[in-house]
Amino acid sequence: MEQIEGDRCDLCFDGRLRSRQVREYYRFGKGLVVLERVPAYVCENCGERYYAAEVAKRMRQLAKMGPRAKERVSFPVIHFEPRKATA
């Protein structure tokens, strides 16, 4: 695997990348899957995440197993509406 620990971030050009395990909210088509303990490199400054090519590929494979996942979470859905003007 490509070793990029300690490299400078390509987005903010300031932070260094640190090896972390992250929770990824992974979208595919109309679906959303929560992937836990994904190995990533995270910028210590801006939080941008980088994944090795094989990790990105594996995430796509695992996301397809979403409909058969035993573990589920539910999220509240709130539609944005602007604040009412106060007189």
Which positions lie near Zn ion, rule CB under 5 A?
9, 11-12, 15, 43, 45-46, 48
Residue 5 CB, nearest distance to Zn ion (Å)? 14
Nearer to Zn ion, 7 or 48 (CB): 48
Nearer to Zn ion, 6 or 31 (CB): 6
Of 53, 66, 54, the C-alpha closest to 26 is 66
- Strand-pairing partners, residue 43, are 17
Residue 16 CB, nearest distance to Zn ion (Å)? 9
The pair of structure tokens assigned to 10 is: 């390509």
Instruction: Give CA–CA dist 5/7, Å, rounded.
Output: 6
